[in-house]
Amino acid sequence: MSAGTRGAQEEHPLTDKEFNLIRELVYRQAGIFLTPVKKALVTARLAPRLRALALDSFGAYYKHVVSKGNEAELVRMLDCICTNETHFFREPTHFDFLVQRAIPEWREQAAARLRPRRVRVWSAACSTGEEPYSLAMVLLSQFPPGSGWDVEVVATDLSTRALARAEEGLWSIDKAEEIPPEYRRSFMLKGVRSREGWMRAGPAIRSVVRFARLNLHAESYPGMGTFDAIFCRNVLIYFDAESKTGVLHRLLGHLEPRGYFFLGLSESLAGVSVAARCIHPAVYVSAPRGNPQG
């Protein structure tokens, strides 16, 4: 346990009753299942909100959050709870799959007039933006401006704090090592003078990425349309079986019939009844409704 966590617990001890109220609220609102071992994490992450609001207990904070007309604090609470850990080109086998299999198929289908010369990809839990910008780099390297192809990457997340960082598109230069050199040279800008030591997403990739707040636990995702590929990686581990099934049904409902659905490499659809089958490590396609496979 860190000193910060110990300090938060001593300043505002979180009782089991308060923890259960908060975990039930988080589950209702976001589908995130907090196990008992997350009690210390909840304490550490929400204690600053208690101090900011001059509240003397987590019970008082819970009442503040659920009080009528306090949607803004509910959003802040969920921001605090969410874990936003990601990297550029995380699990690179999936980006290789796009280049070696998906994109050639899309080109062939367009040549046969079976699809428009348009690609839409959804980063369904984009965190601070590394995944959607990585996708934009891959897609624009294959479908550059002037090629006749329209490229769009839609990036959504529950956390407004993470989305703000993603839209800013600014990272420590240390993150540059995560990006293959050919992509880094073509699409990223190295900071100078006051921005020395920083790296910014360049205008080409910024122009094709659209950010929006979206709660995957919502009953529907209006206005999203359909996608040629959906990335929902390392997210479902935070849901229980019921929430996971609902999220997967809704996401797959936005996948084009020939589209690809990507999970994290440590995840699978085993034990979940959805109409999808695995064709590559953590890559799925839609399956006939009567023949779902994990």
Question: Given a cut of 60, is residue 289 above it in pLDDT?
Answer: no
Out of 157, 184, 228, 233, pick the active-site residue. Answer: 157
Could you list the beta-strand ranges (E) of the chain: 118-123, 150-157, 170-172, 188-190, 198-201, 209-213, 227-231, 255-262, 276-280, 283-286
Over residues 218-237, mean pLDDT? 93
- The token duo for 286 is 């839609």
Q: What is the pLDDT of residue 275?
A: 87
In the predicted model, what is the mean pLDDT of the chain? 89
Q: Distances from the Cα of 44 to the Cαs of 61, 82, 167, in angstroms?
A: 14, 13, 27
Four-residue CA torsion sign, 164, 165, 169, 170: positive
Would you call 157 a catalytic residue per the annotation? Answer: yes
The single-letter code of the amino acid at 281 is: P
- The token duo for 184 is 């880094």
Q: What is the pLDDT of residue 192?
A: 79
Would you call 193 a catalytic residue per the annotation? Answer: no
- Of 116, 108, 104, the closest CA to residue 150 belongs to 116
Confidence tier at 11 by pLDDT (50, 70, 90)? low
Question: Given a cut of 50, is residue 294 above it in pLDDT?
Answer: no
β-pair partners for 269? none
Confidence tier at 32 by pLDDT (50, 70, 90)? confident
Q: What is the pLDDT of residue 287?
A: 81
β-pair partners for 153? 121, 209
Out of 23, 45, 49, 120, pick the active-site residue. Answer: 45
Q: What is the pLDDT of residue 79?
A: 79
